[in-house]
Structure 1
């Protein structure tokens, strides 16, 4: 049931990303330096529908995390890349080539191997505050460095950088969802007496804003791919380091599961690079008038 809920969340995330991109295509460039550019999104019907789909996706993801381990739920969200390909083709007329199809197949095979042989066991719902502080500080430093030095260059690069930072924040918020749900089960009064729900809200909102900037570049594949790679990587690391989740034994199961996860991440990168190559060809192609002349 947890895996099914995670796959439903992945589909909703892909639908949300496609609709939000469609809503942002006709707007001026989105930027953190111009809050007004982000406020314009609210007036776009498609963007609002996509945001509703995103919120419903969060509900399914939370339900999956409530029933399963972080280290198995987060990798399944890589399927967002696979779902985004046909949705992008139908809703925003983005072509799907052979390389993207091969990448999607690799993702499906890799995730199947990880789900069958990974079977994370053990784990805790929370970690000591000091360990959380160190993890959050490290992730915040990585995000700042990426935003300072990686936001220049082509639109695809910008989409990838902002998508990566958004994915890191979503991975952190997913990890914080585990203790937040545990507190919620104990009661609403108990929930608001801890810092984790507030940190979850901050990470989630920041990730949401940065994802909108990434999608606003018009480059759906690199945006979705980087989010879908960074999110599970951070989720797995936090699940293993902080929540003490471990993959099942025997050892060869762990090896096969790691190979499967690696294949899934490589498939997502292949899709991103394929789209980058197509964008470069489009920019290099001469205009029709020049060909006629």
Structure 2
């Protein structure tokens, strides 16, 4: 593969990642609109996916999701996991703008302040941590350990979600899907690395098929999250978990580093802002009532 201009690669990665975030935001809104028509009895059943596949609005959401996936893969081909994944936090502001444009829903000042708090907190966390490096090639042992850890956490979150209802279930499943998408992004990064070095064997490499499987599983969990609760519950948990988990995966798999020392204070400030915004969102009327996008059919 031809080498990329080093100066332009990060810029291209940033543009592609922001476009991916916009596609993901549109996908979330459209999928949530479709998921609200599904009966609660469909939760955790394959019939939920069958019902969704017969809805044009859901298919539009999946189309936007595929577009976001391709843009994200392209961004990861030009930039590092630590650069691309944090940029996907712009999905949350994009989501709120799309909701306003499509449904003319008025969001009060408290909701906007909560969303800003979550977004700024995550930005402070990632900017102060400033993950870098990432020249290590993961070994099969690294992948085995990370898979067990991620699988165990996801299984715990899903297990807890099965015995809860409403916003709590949506938050747990949103977190699980965020972890799943972070793991998918790590596999995507590994696949793009293999494509650069071993193009002839890439279609026989296990990370490609593991990426597809992890992506499908994450989408399935996300459908249940969207079917269980409000978009404003699901979106922040998804947007917080994905970049934070991606940083951890970048450190564990690709040898990336984060700043410690005095920078930990700023990182803790970022976590505090995320927590504050999440609590305010949980207390907002939009969550306590039903949904931003109209009555459930």
Taking structure 1 as the reference length, what is the TM-score of the superposition?
0.84
| Displacement after TM superposition at 1:122 (Å) | 1.6
> Which residue among 145, 159, 162 is the counterpart of 2:173?
162
User: Which residue is 1:17 aligned to?
Assistant: 28
CA 162–24 in structure 1, closer or farther in 2 if over 3 Å, else same:
same
Aligned residue among 45, 54, 60 for 1:49: 60
- 1:178-218 C-alpha deviation (Å, 9 max, x unpaired): 11001122354311232211111111110011111111235
Aligned equivalent of 2:271, options 224, 244, 262: 262
Q: Tell me: CA distance 1:264–1:184, structure 2 relative to 1, closer, same or farther (3 Å).
A: farther
Runs (4 or more) in structure 1 with deviation over 6 Å come to: none
Distance in 2, Cα, partners of 1:173 & 1:257: 28
Report the RMSD for the aligned CA atoms in angstroms.
2.7
Aligned length: 280
Whole-Å separation in 2 of the counterparts to 1:248 and 1:40? 47
SS at match of 2:137: coil
| 1:111-141 C-alpha deviation (Å, 9 max, x unpaired) | 5546665553321263111011011101111
Q: Which consecutive residues of structure 2, in runs of 5 or more, have no partner in the other structure?
A: 1-10, 292-297
Structure 2 counterparts to residues 19-168 of structure 1, below 5 A: 19-29=30-40, 31=42, 33-92=44-103, 95-110=106-121, 113=124, 119-124=130-135, 126-168=137-179
Separation in 2, partners of 1:30, 1:271:
30
Look up the match of 1:186: 197
CA–CA distance in 2 between the matches of 1:278 and 1:180? Answer: 40
Alpha-carbon distance in 1 for matches of 2:213, 2:244: 20
Q: Is the 8 A contact 1:69 1:245 kept in 2?
A: no
TM-score (norm 2): 0.83
CA-CA distance at 1:75 after TM superposition: 2.0
Once the two structures are TM-superposed, the CA of residue 89 in structure 1 deviates from its matched residue by 3.7
1:273 aligns with 2:279: no
The 8 Å contact of residues 165 and 228 in structure 2, kept in 1 or not, is answered as no
